[in-house]
Structure 1
């Protein structure tokens, strides 16, 4: 397999990581693009990317760590959610955020995350602990769950409640989701992509965002269909079947970067 093919297979997930790390699709994508450009200009770096996800994420990390304080892109083009994210970035230690995302959302083992970040495994574990402590200080909110599979919906309800949040409603269709929001605006939305009546979770979220600005976490068995770079894409995207720790991390990140109250 060529280097290009190997890297391409990992790009959707690197973009997901970059967006969650920076809180912005445009900023995250810009750093990913810069990483690829650096590899094209450096044959040794390009050859190292044959090693899979770890060297690719490590290359991205070196570039991001050297420039994360800089603003990429025009803030006038950012959404309210992205602006909130950019404002919050200065309030949490970047290394903590990296360790949390790598070991939860990206599902790296602590040893792999340590290689990406060039720190020890013990340091990774401590950084994750600190990140969770920082994020857990955020206030609780109300959550709307858009999911057409009853067992998964119940699992998400239990998980959300265990974190101290309230369930403002559940919906299995686009219409039901809008009905819930018409009665109470949630502080967070967990949304499946394919719904019971053939409607789309993406359309349901578009309807909700036309009413209020809230952070959204999408859940899908086919993340590659959304992470193409060809259209506005979700910052928070969880792959089915999911791990509960992954959902918890995404909820904490979404509430940290976005307001827990409607804007």
Structure 2
């Protein structure tokens, strides 16, 4: 397969990514054009041993990183990515590659010429920078004390505060009314046999916040009923996954913590 044929299916997504980096359609498309011109002039830039999509993103970011002004560029023009301008360049790249473009940590590491540990550090940095802009109060609904403590540490490590921890449907309702949280992290199987899903549905009738479900039973969230998950990961969870989902839920929320969007880490 020719390089042109390998690249062609990925160009729409490459344009999306470049537009997110530059903050404009014209700027993004100009970088994609420069990327293609560079490959035509020097085909060896496109590493054919890599997945084509990984290879083309790597070339684009190589060009991007070679221009010093891109370390300071304002990318606030895209409405749903309004917070990108306050993020450092490498953290912004890692965040967009994993959350918008859907690359794995290993693929992102290859694109950014680092390792998976480096990607994890960049995503942590992105999470902290996002939290500094949209820091909020997080309510945890979890009946297992050790898991609740782990989640509490993750939340506070990102710069948010924990409104409290509820173990049952009743406790969750009372805590939400008392603290008015900006985000909810909820298991769906609670200590008294009640449903965290039902508790969240009830709470969302009174408060409008992003929700992240953390559960060992993801199939219970795939019923077609509301709230529906935007992200679905199973217990036992990796801390980096939970931190990334928290950051995504707040970052892409059009009201910065006041939305009916639901993310699920299960």
TM-score range, shorter chain: 0.5 to 0.7
Deviates more, 1:92-101 or 1:121-130: 121-130
Q: Are 2:244 and 1:226 equivalent residues in the alignment? A: no
Q: Deviations over 1:188-241 (max 9, x none)?
A: 110001111221111111111111111111111132442466765122444211
Alignment of 1:150-229 (within 5 A): 150-227=145-222
SS in 1 for 2:143: coil
Question: Do 2:128 and 2:159's aligned partners in 1 also have CA atoms closer than 8 Å?
Answer: no
Question: Do 2:94 and 2:123's aligned partners in 1 also have CA atoms closer than 8 Å?
Answer: yes
SS in 2 for 1:121: coil
TM-score, scaled to structure 2: 0.56
Tell me by how many angstroms 1:178 deviates: 0.5
Distance 1:65 1:129, change over 3 A: farther
SS in 1 for 2:214: strand
Tell me by how many angstroms 1:249 deviates: 1.2
Match of 1:101 in 2: 99
Give the helix-richer structure, 1 or 2.
1
Q: Distance in 1 between matches of 2:185 and 2:219?
A: 18
SS in 1 for 2:134: coil
Q: Deviations over 1:111-131 (max 9, x none)?
A: x3467xxx3533995775774
2:242 aligns with one of 241, 247, 257:
247
Q: Distance in 2 between matches of 1:98 and 1:170?
A: 31
SS in 2 for 1:206: helix
Q: Deviations over 1:26-75 (max 9, x none)?
A: xxxxxxxxxxxxxxxxxxxxxx9xxxxxxxxxx7x665445688xxxxxx
- Provide the aligned C-alpha RMSD in A: 3.7
Tell me by how many angstroms 1:261 deviates: 5.0
